[in-house]
């Protein structure tokens, strides 16, 4: 997603891909021709193009990497950007691969999958906190097997050429989409879904809209404004919040980690500052993930600029 600025100095986001339509079609053709074995090698010239000829795109990788590896300069910094952009590129190929060749093409393990299924089946609602980590499509495929309807807070701009895995096979969207740019940011729809005992997925690492709806927590040594919508919803509706990280562990393998299950008492829903300890638990999980899998946190904007 590409950041845009508006006159009110609040961030809005575009979900449009930086790739051209013909580039997407080319990789879809390669996947149909021979799967990842053919598609992966063609990623090298694409990634090198962005590194050498698109300094604007390389610069977007540096925001996070300079906080994660503050001592890396020169070739080491270049190598970090290469690994990060290559990781994102492979996750996008895997997303298309799951749709074109079938979800079984990805070998996904979920050690605590039964625990998440029990939380969803309890009927008290469940918030799943997602992050720009690994390949979220691997987790989405699993979520389709939960015994409750799944709602996703998701912005997709008109003209966006990126496809979700189910769009490649012509399947109906197995999830109900909630538009975060709608009335009250989709809050009414999310509350209604949770009251019915459904599952709601919300992104936890990217703020959209006014700064008043965020809290500052230190992340990798400096404060970042994190969105608090998920945390406030969890408190108001007395709903458990599960933090998921889908990580790539091999060429065709993923592991979904259930990092935390957090419950927030209703009395901590206001003022917002009372949510800080719970938000800090998520940020600590994210820091631990960045420590062991530094190139699987796909952050391409300056979270720290505020």
Q: Residue 167's pLDDT band (boundaries 50, 70, 90)?
A: low
The answer to the question of residue 33 being in a domain is yes
The pTM of the full predicted model, rounded to 2 decimals, is 0.87
For residue 108 the two structure tokens come to 């996904």
The answer to the question of residue 186 being in a domain is yes
Residue corresponding to tokens 């998921």: 244
Q: Return the minimum-mean-pLDDT range out of 59-68, 199-208, 225-234, 274-283.
A: 199-208
The answer to the question of residue 116 being in a domain is yes
Q: How far is CA 275 from CA 199, 204, 234, 280, in A?
A: 21, 14, 10, 9
pLDDT exceeds cutoff 60 at 301:
yes
The answer to the question of residue 207 being in a domain is yes
Q: Residue 163's pLDDT band (boundaries 50, 70, 90)?
A: low
Q: Which pLDDT score is estimated for 185?
A: 74
**Mean residue pLDDT across the chain:** 86
The answer to the question of residue 303 being in a domain is no
Average pLDDT over residues 95-115: 87
DSSP assignment of 85-141: HHHHHHHHHHHHHHHHH-GGGSEEE-TTHHHHHHHHHTSS-EEEEE-SBS-HHHHHH
Give the residue numbers spanning the domain of 138: 2-296
For residue 150 the two structure tokens come to 């799944």
Q: Which pLDDT score is estimated for 210?
A: 57
The answer to the question of residue 168 being in a domain is yes
Average pLDDT over residues 124-139: 88
The answer to the question of residue 304 being in a domain is no
The answer to the question of residue 12 being in a domain is yes
Q: CB-based contacts of 28: which residues, under 8 Å, 6+ apart?
A: 96, 100, 168
pLDDT exceeds cutoff 50 at 12:
no
Number of domains in the chain: 1
More reliable by pLDDT, 20 or 232: 232
């Amino acid at each position: 997603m590409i950041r845009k600025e508006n006159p009110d100095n609040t961030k809005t986001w575009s979900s449009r891909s930086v790739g051209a339509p013909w580039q997407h079609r080319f990789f879809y053709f390669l996947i149909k021709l021979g799967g990842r074995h053919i598609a992966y090698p063609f990623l090298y010239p694409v990634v090198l193009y962005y590194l050498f000829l698109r300094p604007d795109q390389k610069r977007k990788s540096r925001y996070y990497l300079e906080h994660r590896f503050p001592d890396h300069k020169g070739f080491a910094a270049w190598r970090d950007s290469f690994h990060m952009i290559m990781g994102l590129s492979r996750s996008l190929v895997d997303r298309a691969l799951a749709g074109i060749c079938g979800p079984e093409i990805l070998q996904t393990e979920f050690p605590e999958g039964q625990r998440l299924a029990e939380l969803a089946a309890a009927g008290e609602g469940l918030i799943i906190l997602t992050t720009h980590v690994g390949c979220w499509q691997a987790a989405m495929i699993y979520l389709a097997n939960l015994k409750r309807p799944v709602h996703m807070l998701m912005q997709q701009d008109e003209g966006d050429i990126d496809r979700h895995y189910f769009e490649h096979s012509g399947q109906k969207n197995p999830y109900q989409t909630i538009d975060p740019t709608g009335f009250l940011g989709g809050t009414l729809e999310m509350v209604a879904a949770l009251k019915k005992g459904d599952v709601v997925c919300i992104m936890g690492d990217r703020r959209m809209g006014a700064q008043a709806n965020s809290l500052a927590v230190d992340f990798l040594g400096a404060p970042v404004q994190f969105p608090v919508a998920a945390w406030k919803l969890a408190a108001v509706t007395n709903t458990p919040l599960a933090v998921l990280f889908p990580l790539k562990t091999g060429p065709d393998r993923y592991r979904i980690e259930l990092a935390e299950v957090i419950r927030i008492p209703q009395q901590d829903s206001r003022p917002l500052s009372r949510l800080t300890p719970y938000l800090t638990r998520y940020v600590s999980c994210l820091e631990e993930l960045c420590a062991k899998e530094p190139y699987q946190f796909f952050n391409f904007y300056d979270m720290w600029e505020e």
